[in-house]
Amino acid sequence: MSETPAPARRTPSAFALEEERRVLSIRPVLAPVHRKYGSHPHQVYDLWPAEDPDAPMVMLLHGGYWRYDRMHLTPFAAHLAKAGFTTVLPGFRRSGGAGGYPATFDDIALAVDTIPEGRPYVLAGHCSGGHLALWAGARGLLPESSPWYTDRLPTAILGLAPITDLAATIRDDLSDGAGLQLLGGAEQAGARLPLVDPLTMLRGKGSTGVRTVVLHGAVDEEVPLGQFTDYVAVHTDAEHVVLPDTGHYTLIEPGSEASGAVIAVLRRLASRG
């Protein structure tokens, strides 16, 4: 019996390596407010209140292939607050520790159901955080018997270079098996994909019913570009925004031209709430 060939290893360009180093080396920014949304030690969130109490709310879900913590996204969260958004950055249980299926999804569901306290909000996520944001926006497609099912969905979703397809993530072995680690291994993955994979959840449905934008750089080398195009082909009313000459990490780099484009989309989504 022939074995399935291993995915080809990608060699990042000098551009991608410098972008990653530059953005991820930005010093973390401590939030002025730190609160809990649940009883587990990881069920906490950082809050940057905007000066205007009526400012739109944005909740950010951080990337790191479901393994790493949220500190690398704190500079961007603080930047959004300066741009006029009340910004929330939750922690959650992560793969390789207390998280993975189902705990990571339990935490995201609890965070989005409780932290906004009924306020309209845009849920945005970067990379694997984009996967979690898209999943949260698709919870209305789950069976009503699922503990994650809800009809109280975010006002809008912004996926920033998001993982959209866990099956492809596993097939391409992104980040050394991150998809299988999230789902609990190869034996569990097939049964769990329909419950937690945005692309699988959407097939045959066409839309989540939540305004959704997928935004990414044209030269993203971290997430295969097919993850973005395949998702918007299935989510028939999702908007697809591509930034030229832009990689994966510049989207969350405070003050970059790409971050300005992200802020413009957030303002547009929030203003339609």
- What CA–CA distance (Å, rounded) separates 149 from 131? 17
State the Cα–Cα distance between residues 79 and 254, nearest whole angstrom: 6
Q: What is the mean pLDDT of each run of 10 residues along the chain (273 residues)?
A: 55 95 98 98 97 95 97 98 98 96 98 97 98 98 97 97 98 97 97 98 95 98 97 97 98 98 98 69
Residue 230 lies inside a defined structural domain of this protein: yes
Indicate yes or no: pTM above 0.85.
yes
| Helix residue ranges per DSSP H, the chain | 14-24, 74-82, 103-114, 128-137, 166-171, 178-183, 186-196, 198-202, 226-234, 257-271
Phi-psi region of 176 (alpha: psi -120 to 50; beta: other; left: phi over 0): left
Say how many domains are in the chain.
1
CA 168/CA 39 separation, integer angstroms:
34
Q: In what order do the strands lie in the sheet with 44-48?
A: 33-36, 44-48, 86-90, 57-61, 121-126, 156-160, 211-217, 239-243
Looking at the domain assignment, is residue 63 inside a domain? yes
Q: Is residue 241 part of a domain?
A: yes
Q: What is the DSSP letter of 100?
A: S
Does any domain span residue 4?
no
In a domain, 212, yes or no: yes
- Residue 215 belongs to some domain of the structure: yes
Residue 56 lies in a domain: yes
In a domain, 26, yes or no: yes
Residue 80 pLDDT: 98
CATH, residue 189: 3.40.50.1820
Q: Supply the pLDDT for residue 11.
A: 87
* Domain span including residue 172: 14-271
